[in-house]
Amino acid sequence: MNETDILIDIKDVSKAFPGVLALDHVDFCLRRGEVHGLMGENGAGKSTLIKVLTGLYPKDGGQILFEGRPFTLSSPLEAAGHGISTLYQEVNLIPALSVAENIYIGREPKRFGRIDWKKINTDARVAIQKLDLDIDVTQPVSTYSVAIQQLVAITRALEISAKVLILDEPTSSLDLAEVSQLFKVVRRLKKEGIGILFVTHFIDQVYEITDRITVLRNGRFIGEFETSKLSRIELISHMLGKDPEVFSKEQEDAAMKIRTRKTSAEPFLEVKHLERKGSMTAFNLTVNKGEVLGLAGLLGSGRTETARLLFGIDRANGGKVLLDGEQINISSPRNAIEKYFAFCPENRKEEGIIEDLTIRENIILALQARSGIFRAISQKRQNEIADQYIDLLSIKTPSASQMVKNLSGGNQQKVIIARWLATDPRFLILDEPTRGIDVGAKAEIEKLIVGLSEKGLAILFISSEMEEVINCSDKINVLRDRKILTELAGEDMEVSNIMRVIADKEAGI
Amino acid sequence: MKTGEKLRNENFQRLLWPLMALLGILLFNFFFTPGFFHIEIKDGHFFGSLVDIANRAAPVMLLAIGMTLVFASGGVDLSVGAIMAISGAVAATVIRPDYVKGVIAYGEMQPLFYVIAIPLVFSLIAGLWNGLLVAYIGIQPIIATLILMVAGRGIAQLITQGQIVVFIHEPFQYIGSGFFLGLPFPIILVLMVYAATYFLTRKTGLGLFIEAIGANSVASHFMGIRERLIKLSVYIFSGFCAGLAGLIICADIKAADANNAGLFLELDAIAAVIIGGTIWGGRFTLLGSIIGTLIIQSLTTTILTRGVAPEVTLVFKAFVIILVSLIQSEKFRGLFSRRLAVKKVSGS
């Protein structure tokens, strides 16, 4: 490898926060024209490394070379000046402004001191077409999908400068087709010699797109590997710090356990011809006691819509729901909760946690809501409940009076699960409970799901990761285009089968 | 208990800066205003500047108690000043129903119950209107309550036919200028409303629900909290508090002045809530809002006793609000402490 090919060389960089050594002598090297994956669990130091690199945090020790010259940044704005752009999970665009305005905001081409709209729009069109995108640049950004918005953000980054592109979990909210569109652009940029740093939780995507992987664990540099020479199990074991064989056996055991177990055939919840116009085509579904029913399908296939209907967030236009053989009517979440239903929504931040309240309050809220305003749960009881679930789910926090916003994503998810477990539910709906959280916490949550079902809880489990659905579920309903196509159980639950059902045009008709 | 201590700590932190500001103003008076802390007992009643401040602050305290809950739920109620005017106008009209027709005679003396209850019913209806617009129709709180802020004063004018209705009604006047246990009755009324509100919000689940709704209304709905109903009740309660405040002022001046009763007091109430440390949408502290009101009132009194023209007090008020808000901002304090730290380092 030629020395001049190295764009960024991070050597021995450390960064300490009060009480934690976030980066402990970390090395990282990004070359021209490569896609470099940065992997690690939450708290491994990925985001700290990116923030040090882009000048958001000052480093405590070590050095950073940019094209062979030592350099120190004091602000993200400076980073942009050097040709380093960062794309975050949340799209940093102004929704109400047009695509073209977003691309050139702050650097509008001017004519006689006034903005040259003609030039902005033609330039934007040219820039957008470089990414094989054919959209109307005069339309507001908000009219396009998240994937297109990401591409617009990339276009802006490329227009400002184009040497290093940092992608910090850009695919979390994209579906498969959108991801492949994004990756097409990434490959093209790679050919043009841009160095791309790619951070994600999706193992599949890392193998699809990266040339090299650097693994961090607990702030320490574990190693740099060529993607083609690193097996998945090795990668995961590096991230977790566990022996690969032990780890794979643990996983297999868990999957075997659930696949071979016998569940009761006692139907708990039966749904018949439930439908909502414009949202879900009429569907049937049965969950037995102590059973995990998985919903598999692409983004927008109707998984969340199904959950919302069952929990009374959206009202059905037709069909009926039987609970223990008796017909029930669920017209609001409050209604559902009275029937001991529980729902962990997909958007943790908007629909789940209440950031500005404490962990304790977040945990007891649903229980308090069910017991009503006037039967207040005593302070003592609140603390007992909170401590019990912090223990049970091993939520990492110094105390129950911490604000929930101070927790990591995985721990916030556990708080929401704790909230519902505190209500002693009989039916638990989990919509993407493992999205955006690290491998370790994910494994814990998966284990918890199986454990809960063994205690007799009926669970509806939604996830966009098919392996996960297969590992956790007793049976799987496959969805496409707001329709439940078929049910798979036992040996039939395989990724290839699910994919075939989704791709098969005839299925379910 | 450890966690209990921590919580108290959080509450204490919130109240710390407002308390300091209040102490600062009192301290200033201790040195520069002779007799400021002097309290004497005449005919079994307490008299003195401190009692006076609390008494004068009473109407705004009532508004601030209601406003605190509205604020915590993620809204604002601009109409409270206008509701005060309506409440006063209705009370005066109940006492002298024919005054507006030019009849000077009182007729029969109205029972106290009607004089109090009818205006309060009007205030509750006004609050209900606000709450329906915000919670069930989904209008932005600032717009929804602006409607009644503007129209309410007009309604009050309609009731009094644009006249200032003066009256004499001994039992009713007690609300504005009576004494109970040696203290002016408005203070007692505030204490009662404060205690009831505290009990209703903190000894039940209601306070937490209001905070949850204000901080994340969607998540609250998903948890089965009746967020619309609670929002509605918060506005109704704010209307009720404003109605009471309107009665105090009306009974005190023995007249209903639809033009001026409660004018701009909604702004004082909002300022008091903010100074008191309640953030918009989320955590609230009733005690903080009471302290906030006391800050504003003691400041006003201080300026007046120092012989500054009343018009100028507004400038001082603005100044103090800016100051207290700045002190509460963590960013601002951080800026300061960093400066100090740098100075210490360079000094050593």
Q: What is the pLDDT of residues B122-170, one digit of tens each?
A: 999 999 999 999 999 999 999 999 999 999 999 999 999 988 999 999 9
Task: Compute φ and ψ for A508, nearest 5 degrees.
Answer: 80, 0
Q: Which secondary structure element, helix H or strand E, spans residue A272, and what is its range? A: strand A267-276
Hey, is the C-beta of B252 within 8 angstroms of any chain A C-beta?
Answer: no
**Beta-carbon separation of A350 and B212 below 8 A:** no
Hey, is the C-beta of B340 within 8 angstroms of any chain A C-beta?
Answer: no
Chain B residues with beta carbon closer than 8 angstroms to that of A375:
205
**Beta-carbon separation of B3 and A360 below 8 A:** yes
Task: Compute φ and ψ for A389, nearest 5 degrees.
Answer: -80, -30
**Beta-carbon separation of A369 and B219 below 8 A:** no
Q: Taking residues A27-34, what's their average pLDDT?
A: 91
Q: Which secondary structure element, helix H or strand E, spans residue B332, and what is its range? A: helix B330-347
For residue A358, the model assigns a pLDDT of: 92
Pick the residue from chain B with its C-alpha nearest to A348: B219
Higher pLDDT, residue B336 or A329 = A329
Higher pLDDT, residue A80 or A12 = A12
Closest residue by Cα to residue A146 from A204, A89, A86? A89
Chain A residues with beta carbon closer than 8 angstroms to that of B7:
358, 401
Beta pairing class for A84-87 and A164-168: parallel
Inter-residue contact A116 to A110 (CB < 8 Å):
yes
Chain-wide mean pLDDT for chain A? 85
For residue B331, the model assigns a pLDDT of: 76
Hey, is the C-beta of B283 within 8 angstroms of any chain A C-beta?
Answer: yes
Q: Work out how many CB contacts closer than 8 A connect A with B.
A: 94
Which SS3 state, helix, strand or coil, does residue A48 take? Answer: helix
Mention every residue, 6+ apart, whose C-beta is less than 8 A from residue B322. Answer: none
pLDDT at B9 over 80: no
pTM: 0.78
**Beta-carbon separation of A356 and B283 below 8 A:** yes
For residue A1, the model assigns a pLDDT of: 47
Chain A residues with beta carbon closer than 8 angstroms to that of B2:
399
Distance from CA of A451 to the nearest CA of B (A): 24
Chain A residues with beta carbon closer than 8 angstroms to that of B226:
334
Closest residue by Cα to residue B324 from B26, B92, B78, B22? B22
* DSSP H helical ranges for A261-318: 303-310
Chain B residues with beta carbon closer than 8 angstroms to that of A334:
224-226
Task: Compute φ and ψ for B77, nearest 5 degrees.
Answer: -120, 100
* CB burial of residue B35 (10 Å; 0-12, 13-18, 19+): exposed
Pick the residue from chain A with its C-alpha nearest to B222: A333
Q: Taking residues B55-67, what's their average pLDDT?
A: 96
* DSSP H helical ranges for A372-408: 379-392
For residue B3, the model assigns a pLDDT of: 47
ipTM, two decimals, is 0.85
Q: Which of A421-430, A480-489, B258-267, B323-332 has the lowest mean pLDDT?
A: B323-332
Dist. CA A221–CA A213, nearest whole Å: 12
Q: In the structure encoding, which two tokens stand for residue A23, read together?
A: 């980066």
pLDDT at A307 over 70: yes
Chain B residues with beta carbon closer than 8 angstroms to that of A423:
none
Chain A residues with beta carbon closer than 8 angstroms to that of B215:
354-357
For residue A259, the model assigns a pLDDT of: 60
Q: Taking residues B39-56, what's their average pLDDT?
A: 88
Q: Taking residues A494-500, what's their average pLDDT?
A: 79
Q: Which of A53-57, A334-338, B104-108, B161-165 has the lowest mean pLDDT?
A: B104-108
Inter-residue contact A124 to A112 (CB < 8 Å):
no
Inter-residue contact A59 to A14 (CB < 8 Å):
yes
Chain B residues with beta carbon closer than 8 angstroms to that of A400:
3
* Residue B76 binned pLDDT confidence (cut-offs 50, 70, 90): very high
Distances (CA, A) of A205 to A128, A172, B255: 24, 11, 76
Closest residue by Cα to residue B227 from A333, A360, A363, A304? A333
* Residue B347 binned pLDDT confidence (cut-offs 50, 70, 90): very low
Beta pairing class for A475-480 and A292-296: parallel
Inter-residue contact A453 to A459 (CB < 8 Å):
yes
**Beta-carbon separation of A365 and B283 below 8 A:** no
Residue with tokens 């001082």: B316
Q: In the structure encoding, which two tokens stand for residue B179, read together?
A: 């004494």
**Beta-carbon separation of B226 and A334 below 8 A:** yes
**Beta-carbon separation of A376 and B203 below 8 A:** yes
Dist. CA B70–CA B78, nearest whole Å: 10
**Beta-carbon separation of B203 and A360 below 8 A:** no
Tens digits of residue pLDDT in A458-475: 999 998 777 888 888 889
**Beta-carbon separation of B219 and A354 below 8 A:** yes
Q: Taking residues A149-172, what's their average pLDDT?
A: 82
